[in-house]
Amino acid sequence: MRSLEKTSPLKSSFWSNESNFSLVVSSIFLLLGFIGILHHEMWRDELQAWMTARDSVSLAGLAAAVKYQGHPLLWYLGLYAITRFTHNPLAMQLLHILIATATVWVFVRFSPFTKLQKLLFAFGFFPFYEYAIISRGYALGILFFFIFCAFYKERLKKPLLLSCFLFLLCQTSVLGLIIAISLEAMLVFDLVSARRQQLSKTTLALMLAVFFSGVIVSIWQIIPPQDSGYATGWHLLFNHFRLERISGLLSLTYFCSPHYWLFELSSGAQQKVGLFFSACLSGLLFIYASIVFLRKPKILCLYACGTLALLAFFYFKYEGYAWHHGHLYILLIACFWLSAGYPDSAPGSAFFDKLSAMGKKYLVLFVGALLTVHFYQGARAYARDYVYPFSAAKETAQFIKEHGLKEVLIAGDPDYAVSPIAGYLDKKIYYLREGKFATYVQWDNKRLKAYDLNKLWEEPALRKKKFLLVVNQELKAPPYPAEKIGEFTEEMARGEQYWLYAVNFEN
């Protein structure tokens, strides 16, 4: 990518210093990120992790609770540490924006892209919004991924250190685990085939021991308990509609469609045409990226294996959402980064040589289009989140506090929608479908059956009591005394609108 440096307009002596440039960009990123988190209303995914760490009384209890959520422990351990000092969830947002800023600093300081490309990427949709403003553990995985890329040029001197980074990447998410396996395979093959230095068997054994211990520890944490009720099935049978959706993820992620995580292009025939078009475009993008890496077979293998492994996970296990699919885009960017450290090799035939030359001819345009679209969508998402509430949970919790209702018994349904209110109130809510007081949701199979709100009066824990009922839909003529005292419907997160009712079962 260094050959594209001439396209960057930043030519002053100050900006020519990579250290100065990276410091300024990351400082601006941190400032805008801090402003963004102050105007971001956290939703259930963010506060679920916060409450799990906050309300776990021991590390053993934390590990047991996290197993229901399908994630390794690393992000939760960080939250567990800071919740020993504060119950204010802003602390999680501050930690997260620092992680995101560190990721941007590593990318801007060490990646081979031009300064303009670095700016566009840093303030793109995934680094600037999805993995910065919204607090989840995936940002930690992107940080370790980029640190690995930054140190990869030292692979012959520090192979064990690289495996340590991959050990940590395995502990961030199942998607981080998949990418780490692809990276370790490339690293080992690269080292074994290198002629400049003989890799000792001891070093190789230590590398593999460190890495596979990370894989085993990660898998042990991810495997759900027997009574888990969250994403437990495997989709092993052929499903044309599902395959078409997953096949279209590359185009929708690479070009950052604002609706790609909804799988709702339209309805009927238009939807089928839209999905078919996305799948065909994804195939072309995959072929083009593969052509670009033809002269660098190790990167080609990393890109193809990593991308196909992620798509296989989305098809066979869990379709995912924007924050999951973003790993496809991050992997592509990392492949461009790592490819700059390899000399071109002969593709093996005149046909492939011409094909590779054609791919390189349009590479600047392709990368520029990707980064520009992501920059636009990042600015758009940031602005919308700044102006509009992401979730109505914060406003609802504030209403409860201001009206002196925090100490009142609160019941709610469904649990996953009501849980962010428990996070903001720092208070247990009686979850009707679980039949217990709790803050975070335990994703077991006992809570899968929907609760009939018309039978609320039969609930033993609520008999002869006054309480506040929180639901995410308006009640239609309930068969018990319920006075609506609040309605909060402005939100972006989908499903986090709230209606508050004062219910009296004392008589």
- On the 0-12 / 13-18 / 19+ scale of CB atoms within 10 A, 386 is middle
Asked whether residue 315 falls in the same domain as residue 399, the answer is no
Domain count, the chain: 2
Residue 460 has what DSSP assignment?
G
C-beta atoms surrounding 204 within 10 Å: 16
Encode 227-245: b = buried (16+ Cβ within 10 Å), e = exposed.
ebbbeeeeeeeeeeebebb
pLDDT given at position 111: 96
Q: What are phi and psi of 212, to 5 degrees?
A: -70, -25
Asked whether residue 421 falls in the same domain as residue 435, the answer is yes
When pLDDT is averaged across residues 460-465 and rounded to a whole number, the result is 91
Q: Which of 411, 400, 396, 382 is nearest to 490 (CA)?
A: 396
Asked whether residue 345 falls in the same domain as residue 326, the answer is yes
**Of 79-83, 151-155, 268-272, 490-494, the least confident:** 268-272
Task: Pick 432 or 344 by higher pLDDT.
Answer: 432
Residue indicated by tokens 């395959």: 243
Report residue 22 as tokens: 């990276």
When pLDDT is averaged across residues 401-425 and rounded to a whole number, the result is 95
What element of type H or E holds 472? none
Task: Pick 124 or 276 by higher pLDDT.
Answer: 124
Asked whether residue 296 falls in the same domain as residue 401, the answer is no
pLDDT given at position 263: 37
- State how far the Cα of 495 lies from the Cα of 262, in Å rounded to an integer: 13
What DSSP assignment string belongs to 170-207? HTT-HHHHHHHHHHHHHHHHHHHH-SSSPPPHHHHHHH
151, pLDDT greater than 70: yes
Ordered strands of the 436-438 beta sheet: 436-438, 429-431, 410-413, 466-471, 498-504, 482-488
pLDDT given at position 273: 54
267, pLDDT greater than 70: no
Asked whether residue 246 falls in the same domain as residue 349, the answer is yes
pLDDT given at position 24: 96
Domain end, chosen from 354, 371, 387, is at 387
Asked whether residue 57 falls in the same domain as residue 101, the answer is yes
What element of type H or E holds 109? helix 90-110
Q: Tens of pLDDT along 56-92?
A: 999 999 999 999 999 999 999 999 999 999 999 999 9
Asked whether residue 440 falls in the same domain as residue 379, the answer is no
For 327-367, what is the HEC assignment? HHHHHHHHHHHHHCCCCCCCCCCHHHHHHHHHHHHCHHHHH
- State how far the Cα of 152 lies from the Cα of 345, in Å rounded to an integer: 19
Q: Tens of pLDDT along 277-306?
A: 888 999 999 999 999 999 999 999 999 999
Asked whether residue 14 falls in the same domain as residue 50, the answer is yes
* Distance of alpha carbon 303 from the chain centroid: 19
**Of 45-49, 65-69, 252-256, the least confident:** 252-256
For β-strands 466-471 and 482-488, DSSP reports them as: unpaired
Asked whether residue 423 falls in the same domain as residue 378, the answer is no
Domain with 130, as residue range(s), is 2-387
C-beta atoms surrounding 111 within 10 Å: 23
Task: Pick 42 or 359 by higher pLDDT.
Answer: 42
- State how far the Cα of 269 lies from the Cα of 182, in Å rounded to an integer: 38
pLDDT given at position 195: 58
Asked whether residue 217 falls in the same domain as residue 366, the answer is yes
Report residue 389 as tokens: 């509430």
- State how far the Cα of 391 lies from the Cα of 417, in Å rounded to an integer: 10
When pLDDT is averaged across residues 194-202 and rounded to a whole number, the result is 71
Report residue 109 as tokens: 């300081």
Encode 284-319: b = buried (16+ Cβ within 10 Å), e = exposed.
ebbeebebbbbbbebbbebbbebbebbbebbbebbb
When pLDDT is averaged across residues 130-157 and rounded to a whole number, the result is 96
pLDDT given at position 277: 85
Q: How many residues are recorded in the chain?
A: 507
pLDDT given at position 258: 59
Q: Tens of pLDDT along 421-439?
A: 999 999 999 999 999 999 9
Band of pLDDT at residue 229, cut at 50, 70 and 90: confident
Angle ∠(46,49,50) on CA atoms, nearest 5: 85
Kindly give, in sequence order, each residue whose CB lies less than 8 Å from that of residue 63, ignoring residues fewer than 6 positions away: 73, 221
When pLDDT is averaged across residues 196-205 and rounded to a whole number, the result is 78
Classify the phi-psi angles of 70: left when phi > 0, otherwise alpha if psi is within -120 to 50, otherwise beta. left
Count of alpha carbons within 13 angstroms of residue 198, beta-carbon side: 3
- Cite the DSSP H helix spans in 388-507: 393-402, 415-425
Asked whether residue 206 falls in the same domain as residue 351, the answer is yes
Residue indicated by tokens 């490819």: 339
Full-model pTM: 0.93
For β-strands 410-413 and 466-471, DSSP reports them as: parallel
When pLDDT is averaged across residues 252-260 and rounded to a whole number, the result is 75
Classify the phi-psi angles of 426: left when phi > 0, otherwise alpha if psi is within -120 to 50, otherwise beta. left
Q: Which of 384, 395, 373, 385 is nearest to 486 (CA)?
A: 395
Looking at beta carbons, which pairs linking 58-64 to residues 24 or more positions away fall under 8 Å?
Answer: 63/221
**Of 76-85, 130-139, 471-480, the least confident:** 471-480
Band of pLDDT at residue 132, cut at 50, 70 and 90: very high
What is the four-CA torsion angle of 442, 448, 451, 452, rounded to 10 degrees? 180
> Percent of the chain having pLDDT more than 90?
73
When pLDDT is averaged across residues 247-265 and rounded to a whole number, the result is 70
Average pLDDT value for the chain: 90
Domain end, chosen from 344, 372, 387, is at 387
- State how far the Cα of 315 lies from the Cα of 311, in Å rounded to an integer: 6
pLDDT given at position 272: 57
pLDDT given at position 9: 42
Domain end, chosen from 387, 416, 442, is at 387
Asked whether residue 288 falls in the same domain as residue 367, the answer is yes
User: What type of residue is 474?
Assistant: E
When pLDDT is averaged across residues 237-244 and rounded to a whole number, the result is 88
197, pLDDT greater than 90: no
- State how far the Cα of 427 lies from the Cα of 93, in Å rounded to an integer: 20
pLDDT given at position 7: 41
6, pLDDT greater than 60: no
Q: Do residues 490 and 389 lie in contact, with contact meaning Cβ atoms separated by under 8 Å? A: yes
When pLDDT is averaged across residues 162-189 and rounded to a whole number, the result is 97
